Amino acid sequence: MQMMHAVVVDHPGAPDVLSYREVPCPALKPGWSLVRVHGFEINHSEVFTRQGLSPSVEFPRILGIEVVGEVAATTAPDQFTTGQTVISIMGEMGRAFDGSYAEYVLLPNEQLYPITTDLSWAELATLPETGYTAYGALRGLRLQPQDHVLIRGGSSGVGMMAAKLAHALQPGIRVTSTTRHADKAATLQEQGADQVLTGELTHLPAVATFDKILDLIGPKTAKDSLQHLTPGGIVSSTGELGGQWAFDAFEPIGDIPNNRYLTSFSSGEVEPQLLQELVDLVTEKHVDIHPTKVFTLREVAQAHAEIESRQGWGKYVVVIEA
């Protein structure tokens, strides 16, 4: 029996429940392919799952809802070739079945997306969930050359990625990002924000208006965001950083001012061409997507601890060297 290293959660708990150990390598089965894992980003949703906040997830479980790697074996040789670079996101990976916190992961064929790229594994690992979410949401905002864009939750991984991608998509726009932490303002400006608003900011200053708003705080602030749009403006409520999954109450006629628009973007609905568009944009526009910090598979528990303590922010990736 072939063995591999993986990080297993036997039961919910603190970061120390993430156990690095040897386990059997998944066996190929009809309709699935085996992927050699080269990297993945640590997601906040994985922290929540490890804490026991995902009722549908049964343990023991290998977490990890995204992966970049190469095909090791496949039941669909007409679709994939051994050694082909692929990305996979969501689709119950790391939830209903074992995920990417391992040297190999077994995935449904329909959940594999071939990618053509020269990016490093560390760079590519920043894109599947964070980059795809930011890119998809920005496309939904229909950015125009002179737009003033607000990113609420700007110090999150998606927020910082969105600031960079927004400038790549429309070099003439102005980006304002928010963060609760004043000491992060300078870093956000280095990451692409032209202006930074600091503080809790559950409610924006009354005089503040924006053409487009990417609200990563989510339902907790989205109704307030709608009140700060210019005519024809769009809010994309994408994410739940505020810890609230739904509106307490929502009255469209009262909560959406005339001629303003509300949309969203879910990374669970994967459009393969958007993934390749994202990779091409990053490459052609020389977007700096280097991760904030790189860990080894053995250090996954450390990464979780840093994220949970709020000391860690930005893009935390794990790279598994050949």
What is the per-residue pLDDT for 305? 94
Going by C-alpha positions, the residue among 133, 134, 138 that lies closest to residue 234 is: 138
pLDDT above 90 (res 312): no
Same domain? For 134 and 259 the reply is yes
> Could you give the number of structural domains in the chain?
2
Mean pLDDT for the chain overall: 93
Q: Where does a domain end: 225, 246, 263?
A: 263
Residue 273 within any structural domain of the chain: no
Residue 281 within any structural domain of the chain: no
Q: What mean pLDDT comes out for the span 197-207?
A: 89
What is the per-residue pLDDT for 267? 83
CATH number of the structural domain spanning residue 81: 3.90.180.10
Query: What is the total residue count of the chain?
Result: 322
pLDDT above 70 (res 184): yes
pLDDT above 90 (res 74): yes
What is the per-residue pLDDT for 24? 97
Residue 246 within any structural domain of the chain: yes
pLDDT above 80 (res 313): no
pLDDT tens, position by position, 284-303: 999 999 888 999 999 999 99
Higher pLDDT, 90 or 72: 72
Same domain? For 118 and 196 the reply is no
pLDDT category at 46 given cuts 50, 70, 90 is very high
Same domain? For 141 and 181 the reply is yes
Residue 143 within any structural domain of the chain: yes
pLDDT above 90 (res 78): yes
What is the per-residue pLDDT for 252? 87
pLDDT tens, position by position, 138-179: 999 999 999 999 999 998 889 999 999 999 999 999 999 999
What is the per-residue pLDDT for 233? 97
Q: What mean pLDDT comes out for the span 37-44?
A: 93
Going by C-alpha positions, the residue among 292, 295, 300 that lies closest to residue 130 is: 292
What is the per-residue pLDDT for 246? 82
Residue 277 within any structural domain of the chain: no
What is the per-residue pLDDT for 247? 84
Same domain? For 206 and 298 the reply is no
Secondary structure string (H, E, C) spanning the chain: CCEEEEEEECCCCCHHHEEEEEEECCCCCCCEEEEEEEEEECCHHHHHHHCCCCCCCCCCEECCCEEEEEEEEECCCCCCCCCCEEEEECCCECCCECCCCECEEEEEHHHCEECCCCCCHHHHCCHHHHHHHHHHHHHHCCCCCCCEEEEECCCCHHHHHHHHHHHHHCCCCEEEEEECCHHHHHHHHHCCCCEEEECCCCCCCCCCCEEEEEECCCHHHHHHHHCCEEEEEEEEECCCCCCCCCCCCCCHHHHCCCCCEEECCCCCCCCHHHHHHHHHHHHHCCCCCCCCEEECHHHHHHHHHHHHCCCCCCCEEEECCC
Asked if 205 and 182 touch (Cβ cutoff 8 Å), the reply is no
What is the per-residue pLDDT for 311? 60
Same domain? For 135 and 76 the reply is no
What is the per-residue pLDDT for 322? 65
Same domain? For 118 and 139 the reply is no
Residue 268 within any structural domain of the chain: no
Residue 149 structural domain? 130-263
Task: Give just the sign of the alpha carbon dihedral 25, 31, 37, 42.
Answer: negative
